[in-house]
Amino acid sequence: MLSSLRWPRLRGAFRLHLSSRAHQWGCLLEALRLAFRLAWLRLQSVIARRRLITITLVEHMGDILACEPVIRLLRQGNPRAYLVWICGKQYAELLRWHPALDAVWTVPCLTSWIWVRRLHLAHQQYDLHFNGRVCPICQIPFKNLSGDSNINPDNYYFRGSILGSFCLVAGLPPLDDTPELHIPREVQRTVDALGLPPAFVALHCRSNDASRDWSPQNWARLARHLEERYQLPVVELGIESVLAGDGLRTVINLCGKTSPLASAAVVSRATLFIGVDSSCAHFANASHVPGVILIGRYQNFTRHVPYSGFYAHGGAILVRASGPVAGLAVTEVIEAVGARLACPSPAS
């Protein structure tokens, strides 16, 4: 009996071990590939008498977009340099169209970059990972000693916004600019074909962290309020819909139907953005779309402001919960929506 109970566990552990080993071999191959590309570009930079500068932030979507002003800062100070951003494959689309970048190269996870960075193949390497960040797949910690090594997962929000604290980590001055997002025309044409109404509210109801989420019942009550009080239709964005099946006439469900850039293009056309602290909130900030953000306690941070620029200076109302976002009352959010719609946004 005991052996029959242990065998499935052992078999599962063995499969996990093989999967982990296979991933690490993949990481090694991708690291070698990236090292070769950087070495080749370094050689070209010597011939062309140009500097090679890398910016690295492997994940996540909101963090990468929040740190976009770093690109403009480094390009302004190095107009002739080769400027390369290194990130996870699933996030490359966000940066690929940036006019100030020469290339966007990818890695499967943070571990690949940990191996490559030791070679110092660029003239300058700006790492936006704080000290002690751990690769979520390989569980290998990252040691960043190029900037403020005292910033870590437990205190980074005490040093400012995502942009400000990550700049300090990289040894850069703490910026407070609104990020810019460059969306190609073909993506804009794809959104044109959706036939969205001229005025609507963009909703993003679910994050990748359950502690940041509000209940579906509350979102449905808010959507009905927008429909009845303001006659504003709702466009829901995200991976999985929260409002589907609630019988709301004016909800347009785009969940799982648009790429990240297309979602950003949709948000840029909204009259108002309402959502949890997630990538779509950063899209709205980049597009100067007035916002109402539902935000609660995150780890040991209770008064943190993730955003820089527009949203940090009046572009959004942050409706705070003392604990998880689920504790927010619908009336609190409705009041914030009314205030945001009644007041013009600050100059962008």
DSSP 106-147: EESSHHHHHHHHTT--SSEEEE-PPTT-B-TTT-PBP---SS
Round to whole Å and give the CA distance between 305 and 176. 12
Residue 9, exposed/middle/buried by CB under 10 A (0-12, 13-18, 19+)?
exposed
What is the band of 17 on the pLDDT scale with cuts at 50, 70, 90?
very low
Residue 4 belongs to what H/E stretch? helix 2-48
pLDDT category, 210, cuts 50, 70, 90? confident
User: Quick one: how far is CA 144 from the chain centroid?
Assistant: 21
Structure confidence at residue 204 as a pLDDT band (50, 70, 90):
very high
Q: Which amino acid is at 245?
A: G
pTM: 0.90
Contact between 312 and 288 under an 8 Å Cβ cutoff? The reply is no
Half-sphere exposure of 342 (CA within 13 A, CB side): 7
Q: Which distant-in-sequence residues (6+ apart) come within 8 Å of 269 by Cβ?
A: 191, 196, 200
| Percent above pLDDT 70 for the chain | 92
Domains and CATH numbers, the chain: 16-169 (3.40.50), 185-342 (3.40.50.2000)
SS3 93: helix
- 3-class DSSP state of 319: strand
Is residue 245 within 8 A of residue 225, CB to CB? The reply is no
Name the percent of the chain lying above pLDDT 90.
Answer: 83
Q: Identify the band that residue 24 occupies on the pLDDT scale cut at 50, 70 and 90.
A: confident
Burial (Cβ within 10 Å: 0-12, 13-18, ≥19) of residue 331: exposed
Place of tokens 């740190």: 67
pLDDT mean across residues, the chain: 91
Residue 227 pLDDT > 50, yes or no? yes
**Whether the Cβ atoms of residue 243 and residue 237 lie closer than 8 Å to each other:** no
Would the pLDDT of 284 be above 80? yes
26 confidence band (pLDDT: 50, 70, 90)? confident
Single out the residue of 21, 36, 27, 33 nearest to residue 114, CA to CA.
27
Residue that is written with structure tokens 């242990």 in the block: 6
**Residue 62: which of 28, 96, 94 has the closest Cα?**
94
Q: Which of 41-45, 154-158, 245-249, 304-308 has the lowest mean pLDDT?
A: 245-249
- CA separation for the pair 136, 139 (Å, rounded): 6
3-state class percentages of the chain: helix first, strand second, coil last, to nearest 5: 45, 15, 40
Q: Which two tokens stand for residue 69?
A: 């002003």
Q: Report the C-alpha dihedral over residues 279, 285, 291, 295, rounded to 10 degrees.
A: 50
Segment 73-77 mean pLDDT: 98
- Give yes or no for a cis peptide into 313 (omega within 30° of 0): no
Q: What is the pLDDT of residues 47-66, one digit of tens each?
A: 999 999 999 999 999 999 99
Name residues whose C-beta falls within 8 Å of residue 148's C-beta, 6 or more positions apart in sequence: 159, 168, 169, 171
The continuous run of DSSP H or E covering 335 comes out as helix 330-342
